C-alpha cells in the first residue's frame, strides 16, 4: 500500500512575503507587551530580513531575542493579540501563488503542512486562516500559562526535517513522493527530505544549490488579501449547497482519476 503524499510549505517569504513574527511587533507594542525601542529594533530586523534573508547568526539572534522578550508573557494574551492582528498584519502579505498551490495539492489528495521556525501560537492561527490544519512550528516552554523563556522544540534546520520524518513514520506519509517549498538555504534539510523540493524566492545560496541539483525554482510576486481573493461571502441556499457539493465531488473524482493515470506535477 502506497503512503500518503504531502506538501510542506515554509511560511516566511514562501507563503507570506515577510517575517510573521517580526510583523507582529507593532500589535504587541499596542498591547503594551514590547517597548518602543524593541519595536524599532523589530522594524530594523524586518528590513534586514527582507533584504538579506535569514542565516545562522541572524536566526540565533532572533530566537534568543524572542525568548528573552516573551519570558513571563501570558500565553492567552499572546494568542489574543495574534488573532486580532492576523487580518491587518498578515493577510495583505499572503502570496496568491502559494495559496493556489496549496489549493491544488489539497485537490490532488495531498496533506498540506505549514513548517516554520516561528512560534506555534503565530503559525497555527495563520495556517488556519488559509485552511491548513497541520503545522510544524517552534514550541516554547510554558508553566502556569506563562512563557518561561526556554524552548521545548525549535523548528529550524535539521529539526524541521527530523519532525517531517517522524511525522511520516507516524502517519504513513511517503516523503519520496511528497513536496517541500522554501526560500532559505537554512531549509536545505527540509528540502532534501522529500522527493520533490522546490526553491521559492530563493536566497543566493539556495538558488545556487537548486540549480546544481536540478530542483525547480519558483518566484512568487503577487501578495494578496484573502478578502480580495474571495471578495464576497454570502450564505448559500440549501439548494445551492447541494449543487455545489455534487459539482465538487465530480471535479475531485475527475482530478483523482486523472492523477492516478498520469501523476500531476504542480511544482
10 is catalytic: yes
Concatenating the DSSP letter of every residue in the chain gives -PPBPEEEEE-BTTTBSS-HHHHTHHHHHHTTSS-HHHHHHHHHHHHHHHHH---HHHHHHHHHHHHHHHTT-BHHHHHHHHHHHIIIIIGGGEEHHHHHHHHHHHHTT-EEEEEEEEEHHHHHHHHHHTT--EEEEEEEEEETTEEEEEEEE---THHHHHHHHHHHHHHTB-GGG-EEEES-GGGHHHHHTSSEEEEES--HHHHHHHHHHT-EEE----EE-HHHHS----PPPHHHHHHHHHHHHHHHHHHHHHHHHS-----
Query: Annotated catalytic residue: which of 10, 91, 183, 203?
Result: 10
Which positions are catalytic?
Answer: 10, 12
Amino acid at each position: 500500500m502506497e503512503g500518503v503524499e504531502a506538501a510542506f510549505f515554509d511560511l516566511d517569504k514562501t507563503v507570506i512575503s515577510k517575517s510573521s513574527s517580526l510583523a507582529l511587533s507593532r500589535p504587541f507594542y499596542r498591547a503594551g507587551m514590547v517597548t518602543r525601542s524593541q519595536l524599532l529594533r523589530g522594524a530594523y530586523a524586518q528590513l534586514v530580513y527582507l533584504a538579506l534573508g535569514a542565516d545562522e547568526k541572524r536566526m540565533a539572534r532572533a530566537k534568543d531575542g524572542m525568548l528573552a522578550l516573551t519570558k513571563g508573557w501570558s500565553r492567552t494574551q499572546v494568542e489574543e493579540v495574534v488573532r486580532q492582528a492576523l487580518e491587518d498584519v498578515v493577510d495583505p502579505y499572503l502570496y496568491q501563488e502559494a495559496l493556489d498551490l496549496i489549493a491544488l495539492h489539497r485537490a490532488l489528495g495531498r496533506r498540506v503542512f505549514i513548517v516554520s521556525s516561528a512560534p506555534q501560537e503565530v503559525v497555527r492561527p495563520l495556517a488556519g486562516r488559509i485552511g491548513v490544519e497541520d503545522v510544524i512550528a517552534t514550541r516554547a516552554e510554558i508553566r502556569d500559562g506563562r512563557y518561561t523563556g526556554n524552548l521545548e522544540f525549535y523548528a529550524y534546520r535539521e529539526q524541521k526535517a527530523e519532525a517531517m520524518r517522524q511525522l511520516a513514520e507516524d502517519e504513513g506519509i511517503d516523503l519520496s513522493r511528497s513536496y517541500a517549498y522554501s526560500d532559505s538555504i537554512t531549509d536545505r534539510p527540509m528540502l532534501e527530505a522529500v522527493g520533490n523540493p522546490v526553491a521559492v524566492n530563493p536566497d543566493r545560496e539556495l538558488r545556487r544549490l537548486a540549480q546544481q541539483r536540478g530542483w525547480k525554482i519558483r518566484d512568487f510576486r503577487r501578495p494578496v488579501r484573502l478578502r480580495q481573493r474571495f471578495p464576497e461571502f454570502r450564505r448559500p441556499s440549501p439548494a445551492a449547497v447541494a449543487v455545489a457539493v455534487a459539482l465538487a465531488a465530480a471535479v475531485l473524482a475527475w482530478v483523482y482519476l486523472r492523477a492516478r493515470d498520469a501523476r500531476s506535477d504542480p511544482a
